Every structure is written in structure tokens, then in C-alpha cells.
């Protein structure tokens, strides 16, 4: 399960980050029958109304922000969170680069710590990070993403559903 926080950074205008639940493209490992609920993660901006950041930033400015990484499922899990390049996908919408891809462009404006953490059911971790807009940035719309995902692929041989595992898909990259 993935939760992406996509950020549109508009120097002199607005910074927006929309929290989207996204099932990333991953390799099908075959049907499985869910014995229990799959892991569920949330990545939520704190100190903001709604599910996105909305702020104005001038070139050369920095701003401290906070998100909450939470396990909203019924089982403990090893969660991973990181900043990633965001891009548009076919037929609209946004997606984020995979873990381990080198950040570029606007993603380099984020001082967001990559981390893996075990979260029990209902547990959350507050993460502070900084957005710094380079001084030479011209006004416009820029985008980056924060990602929360399972650090270990979910596999369950229960009753229903399909399990996906991108770790077995070299064609995905």
C-alpha cells in the first residue's frame, strides 16, 4: 500500500501537496486469498486544514513543515517513507518515482529524511522537514512527492484479492 503526498511548489504563489492513496504499478505475483486485512498506511500533513499543504513561498525562502506517517491497519508493519520526483501519468493524475531513484529538480528542495520504521496498529510518527526554494527560481508551478509504502512486499494466502510485488519486476523500471 502506498500513500503519496504530491507537492506543487509555486514560488511567489502557492505550495500544494495533495495526499493521494495510490496503488503503484507492481508485478502480479498471483492471486491470493486475504486471511486478514492488508497493511494500510497514511501520510498526512499536520498543522494544515485538509489533506494538502497550501502556502506561499518566495524564491530563497525556507519553510519547516510536518507530516504524520501512520499505520491505520490492524497489524504491525515496516514502513518506508521518502521524497521522490513526481510526474504526470497517462490519462491524468500523478505518480512518484520508486524508492532508491535519485531525486532531481524540485525534489532536491525538500530536506526530507528517508527512513524505515516499524509501526504497530494505530501508531504514528511525526516527521519534520524543510522546503527551501532556490533564490534563482522563477515563479511557476513545481511538483515533488512524499511517499509512504510498505518496506516489505505484502503477501497473504487468504480468501480474496490479489497481491502485488514490484520487487520481482525488473521490467517495471
> Per-residue pLDDT tens for 7-36?
444 443 333 333 332 222 222 233 333 455
Under 8 Å between Cβ of 53 and 7: yes
In the block, residue with C-alpha cell 506543487:
8
The predicted model scores a pTM of: 0.71
Cα diameter, the chain: 55
Sketch the domain layout of the chain as residue ranges.
Answer: 2-25+39-154
- Model pLDDT, residue 92: 85
Under 8 Å between Cβ of 140 and 59: no
The DSSP symbol for 165 reads -
Three-class secondary structure of residue 160 per DSSP: coil
Interatomic CA distance for residues 97 and 173, integer angstroms: 10
Given its phi and psi angles, is residue 139 left (phi above 0), alpha (psi -120 to 50 degrees) or beta? Answer: beta
- Model pLDDT, residue 50: 74
Under 8 Å between Cβ of 43 and 1: no
Interatomic CA distance for residues 105 and 144, integer angstroms: 8
Sequence-distant (6+) residues with CB within 8 A of 100 are none
Helix (H) or strand (E) holding 71: strand 62-71
* Whether residue 169 has pLDDT greater than 90: no
2-25+39-154 to CATH, choices 1.10.150, 2.115.10, 2.60.40, 3.60.21? 2.60.40
- Model pLDDT, residue 97: 92
Amino acid at each position: 500500500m502506498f500513500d503519496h503526498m504530491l507537492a506543487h511548489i509555486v514560488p511567489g504563489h502557492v505550495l500544494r501537496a495533495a495526499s493521494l492513496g495510490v496503488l503503484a504499478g507492481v508485478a502480479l505475483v498471483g492471486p491470493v486469498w486475504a486471511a486478514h486485512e492488508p497493511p494500510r498506511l497514511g501520510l498526512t500533513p499536520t498543522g494544515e486544514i485538509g489533506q494538502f499543504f497550501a502556502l506561499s513561498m518566495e524564491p530563497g525562502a525556507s519553510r519547516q513543515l510536518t507530516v504524520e506517517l501512520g499505520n491505520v491497519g490492524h497489524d504491525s508493519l515496516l514502513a518506508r517513507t521518502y521524497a521522490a520526483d513526481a510526474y504526470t501519468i497517462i490519462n491524468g493524475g500523478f505518480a512518484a518515482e520508486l524508492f532508491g531513484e535519485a531525486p532531481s529538480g524540485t525534489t532536491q528542495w525538500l530536506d526530507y529524511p528517508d527512513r524505515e520504521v516499524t509501526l504497530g496498529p494505530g501508531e504514528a510518527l511525526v516527521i519534520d522537514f524543510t522546503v527551501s526554494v532556490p533564490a534563482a527560481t522563477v515563479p511557476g508551478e513545481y511538483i515533488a512527492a512524499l511517499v509512504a509504502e510498505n518496506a516489505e512486499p505484502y503477501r497473504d494466502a487468504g480468501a480474496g484479492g490479489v497481491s502485488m510485488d514490484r520487487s520481482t519486476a525488473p521490467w517495471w523500471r
